[in-house]
Homo-oligomer: A and B are copies of this chain.
Amino acid sequence: MSLREFFRPGSVAIIGASRSPGKLGYVLLKNLLESGYRGPIYPINPNAEEILGIKCYPSVLDVDGEVELAVLAIPAGLVPAVAEECGRKGVKALIVISAGFRESGREGYALERRLIEIGSNYGMRILGPNCLGLIDTWTPINLTFASGMPKRGEIGFISQSGALGTAILDWMIKHGIGFSSFISLGNKADLDEVDFIEAMGEDESVKAILLYIESIERGERFIEVSRKVSRRKPIVALKGGTSTAGARAAGSHTGALVGNFTSYKAAFRKAGIILSDSLEDLFNYAISFTWQPIPKGEKVAIVTNAGGPGIIATDLCEKLGIELAELDHETMNRLARSLPSAASIVNPIDILGDARADRYRIAIDCALEDPNVDALLVILSPQAMTEVGATAEALVEAHRRRGDKPIMAVFMGGGLVEEASRYLKENRIPCFEFPEDGVKALSTLIEYSRFLRRMDHPIRRLEDVDPSSVRETLDGVRRYGRINLLPQEAFRILEAYGIRTPKSDVATSADEAVMYAERLGYPVALKIVSPDIMHKTDIGGVALNLGSEEEVRYAFEDIMAKASKLMPQARLTGVMVQKMVPKGREMIVGMTRDRQFGPLIMFGLGGIYVNFLRDVSFGLAPLTYEEATRMIEETRASTLLKGIRGEQPSDIEALKDVILRVSQLALDFPEILEMDINPVIVYEDGKGCISLDVKITLGEVERG
């Protein structure tokens, strides 16, 4: 979808155009006229002959020529009727600026529903309502009521907040930063961020996409589209509304550990979208992406004439996990020959406070020519001998010569560096006031380059699974109208997907329990089975390490007695007799289905520590092998798994396998809402793992 009719319409009607300079309908028309738009413009206003020197029409139906796009700036109540007229006229694209729709209550909601219906009847696409409009600097066209037209550039900006848009447009104009296009999404009645990301993905004039987003409705499609687009050009996003607590009451560990923002973070990661922590960073990143190349590797060199700022930059590099390049021997020799002896010829390269431009030139050249260096940060503090302007020129020349390695400048200070900073920006070298901003920008370019490499990892379908057995089990559960699976049902599902579980049977009498125990072999564990008991240990429903008939018999009676006493309402199915398994490390693998983004898989430290230590990581299905690896490595428990204090490492490959199998199970059976395997006991490397306990909950909607 190119949405050409929005970005490059053949003709535009401004419905609600006004003669009073204070009104939106006036500002809209004026902005359009001043934007340099070359197609026909039709102001629509039944009470005016002409506005701003242009002939006015009583209604869009009165226009002689074709109208491809119409902007509506009229009271919300009038919008449906006018939209209907637009439809009849054959308008292809509607931008509804007017507020008073879904955001304003029940009546507005009904209006919005009608608007959507009309759009769909006539095949008209709609941006808004309750939005600021749209700008494209290359057409050029300004269909917003924001003041001022930004410079032509390569950034496409999609904003769910109109007010943020006006502020940012003004900010960009002041800083001389160019836009390709700007879209205010408004209520997203029809078109949403997914449509515009797709459109900007195809638009050659957009080199980087900026996104301010508060909610995403079409989560899976969002990931699919963004994942495609972000392979070709970076998407940088700021998510507003990370603070509201998650709404769904959680029945599983996994559910309880998922914050409101967890799924968005996982989704952005999956989609290859760079997440920004702040509004300022969002723009710094966009500028860096449009002006500088993506680094081939991850190693950074720093050249500085100031020790302190060099240290500050180095500190942040370490904190963000960016490696400082180890300079080549030849580079160090060259630096040693050219720099004063007090200079530092190891990275960060400190060329000392009295460095003039020539010293910068040499150090920059050495760093850029070094095969170990992938990106460069140049810091300047204006000291007595500093040649600010000539140093900026040296940077620009270096960038022309070695355009394949990104360069960021940090020119600290005020008046002394103002001109040089402007010169650098004119020549497409991002220039920051503080070292931290330069480091963060470089780090973001590196993050994107990592994503590009990660994109090549294949998603492999496992073949040794048995979906039909799972289907049978789930159908059985449904027939009973249950949503919580009994342990033996859950175990059967895991086994069908190649996840090892301990041998077990459910006994309904002490005799039966003893029979099973003898068959399985001692020692065994007994666990209460009831669709109504979630936390078995809390009510004494578990007995471990039973080594004889007597112990099993006693434990059975004891468990049943306690359960009846403590939870008299609970239906007791029986007691599971399970072969005891050897001790190992207790981990957790879980899944919870996110409403927007689908199955969110969790891995972490299991057992009683899960809930309060929160040593967990997340990923969205379908997971690649590398994503499963990353999930394990992100936890602190991974240190433990690799073996500490001379212990054998755990079977990490087996854990990855469980994670991947859970991912596939979740994809294959959308009715599985939540799932906890806790603990997954993992043994020494090569000895696999075993899922000791599992809870599976089905979606209520699927209960049918």
A interface list, Cβ under 8 A from B: 24, 27, 103-104, 145-148, 159-164, 166-168, 170-175, 212, 214, 238, 240-243, 278-280, 305-309, 311-312, 314-315, 317-319, 342, 353, 381-384, 412-418, 433-437, 535, 538, 605, 609, 611-615, 636-637, 639-640, 644-646
> Is A307 touching B161 in the complex (CB atoms < 8 A)?
yes
> Is B175 touching A414 in the complex (CB atoms < 8 A)?
yes
In Å, the complex CA distance between A174 and B312 comes to: 22
> Is B243 touching A308 in the complex (CB atoms < 8 A)?
no
> Is B645 touching A315 in the complex (CB atoms < 8 A)?
no
> Is A279 touching B434 in the complex (CB atoms < 8 A)?
yes
Known: A240-B308, A308-B163. A280 touches B413 (CB 8 A): no
> Is B305 touching A163 in the complex (CB atoms < 8 A)?
yes
> Is B612 touching A306 in the complex (CB atoms < 8 A)?
no
Q: Which of B159, B171, B308 contacts A413 (CB 8 A)?
A: B171
> Is B644 touching A164 in the complex (CB atoms < 8 A)?
no
> Is A308 touching B164 in the complex (CB atoms < 8 A)?
yes
- Chain B residue contacts of A148, Cβ below 8 A: 415
In Å, the complex CA distance between A521 and B227 comes to: 67
In Å, the complex CA distance between A173 and B415 comes to: 8
In Å, the complex CA distance between A411 and B644 comes to: 52
Known: A241-B311, A308-B160. A433 touches B171 (CB 8 A): yes
Could you jot down 22 A-B contacts, CB within 8 Å?
A147-B382, A159-B308, A161-B306, A161-B311, A162-B353, A163-B383, A164-B381, A166-B413, A167-B381, A170-B382, A170-B412, A170-B417, A171-B412, A212-B308, A214-B308, A243-B315, A279-B309, A279-B434, A280-B436, A611-B639, A611-B644, A613-B637
> Is B636 touching A167 in the complex (CB atoms < 8 A)?
no
> Is B417 touching A319 in the complex (CB atoms < 8 A)?
no
> Is A164 touching B614 in the complex (CB atoms < 8 A)?
no
Q: A167-B381, A243-B317 are in contact. List 4 more A-B contacts (CB 8 A).
A: A166-B413, A280-B433, A535-B645, A612-B644
Known: A384-B145, A414-B172, A416-B170. A243 touches B319 (CB 8 A): yes
> Is B383 touching A166 in the complex (CB atoms < 8 A)?
yes
- Chain B residue contacts of A146, Cβ below 8 A: 383
In Å, the complex CA distance between A146 and B614 comes to: 51
> Is B104 touching A342 in the complex (CB atoms < 8 A)?
yes
- Chain B residue contacts of A318, Cβ below 8 A: 242-243
Which of A166, A214, A353, A418 gathers most chain B CB within 10 Å?
A166
- Chain B residue contacts of A612, Cβ below 8 A: 636-637, 639-640, 644
Q: Give the residue name and chain of the B residue nearest to A280 (CB).
A: B434
- Chain B residue contacts of A342, Cβ below 8 A: 103-104
In Å, the complex CA distance between A394 and B614 comes to: 46
Q: How many copies does the complex hold?
A: 2
- Chain B residue contacts of A605, Cβ below 8 A: 613
In Å, the complex CA distance between A312 and B103 comes to: 19
Nearest CB of B to A668, in Å:
33
Q: Which of B381, B433, B646 contacts A163 (CB 8 A)?
A: B381
Q: Give the residue name and chain of the B residue nearest to A164 (CB).
A: B308
Q: Give the residue name and chain of the B residue nearest to A614 (CB).
A: B636
Q: Give the residue name and chain of the B residue nearest to A354 (CB).
A: B99
In Å, the complex CA distance between A382 and B164 comes to: 9
Q: Give the residue name and chain of the B residue nearest to A308 (CB).
A: B161
- Chain B residue contacts of A280, Cβ below 8 A: 433-434, 436-437
Which of A145, A167, A609 gathers most chain B CB within 10 Å?
A167
> Is A167 touching B382 in the complex (CB atoms < 8 A)?
yes
> Is A240 touching B311 in the complex (CB atoms < 8 A)?
yes
Nearest CB of B to A236, in Å:
15
Q: Give the residue name and chain of the B residue nearest to A611 (CB).
A: B644
Nearest CB of B to A513, in Å:
27
Q: Which of B24, B174, B214, B314 contacts A414 (CB 8 A)?
A: B174
- Chain B residue contacts of A172, Cβ below 8 A: 414
Q: Which of B162, B381, B538, B639 contacts A645 (CB 8 A)?
A: B538
Q: Which of B240, B306, B311, B437 contacts A315 (CB 8 A)?
A: B240
Q: Give the residue name and chain of the B residue nearest to A312 (CB).
A: B240
- Chain B residue contacts of A173, Cβ below 8 A: 414-415
In Å, the complex CA distance between A174 and B414 comes to: 5
Q: Give the residue name and chain of the B residue nearest to A147 (CB).
A: B416
In Å, the complex CA distance between A315 and B414 comes to: 31
Which 6 pairs between the two chains have the least Cβ-Cβ distance?
A161-B308, A174-B414, A163-B306, A167-B412, A170-B413, A243-B318
Nearest CB of B to A276, in Å:
11
Nearest CB of B to A267, in Å:
17
> Is B309 touching A164 in the complex (CB atoms < 8 A)?
yes
- Chain B residue contacts of A278, Cβ below 8 A: 312, 434, 436
> Is B381 touching A414 in the complex (CB atoms < 8 A)?
no
Q: Which of B103, B161, B433 contacts A309 (CB 8 A)?
A: B161
In Å, the complex CA distance between A639 and B171 comes to: 45
> Is B353 touching A170 in the complex (CB atoms < 8 A)?
no
Known: A311-B240, A317-B243. A306 touches B167 (CB 8 A): yes
Q: Which of B279, B312, B382, B611 contacts A312 (CB 8 A)?
A: B279
- Chain B residue contacts of A243, Cβ below 8 A: 314-315, 317-319
In Å, the complex CA distance between A242 and B166 comes to: 39
> Is B435 touching A279 in the complex (CB atoms < 8 A)?
yes
> Is B414 touching A312 in the complex (CB atoms < 8 A)?
no
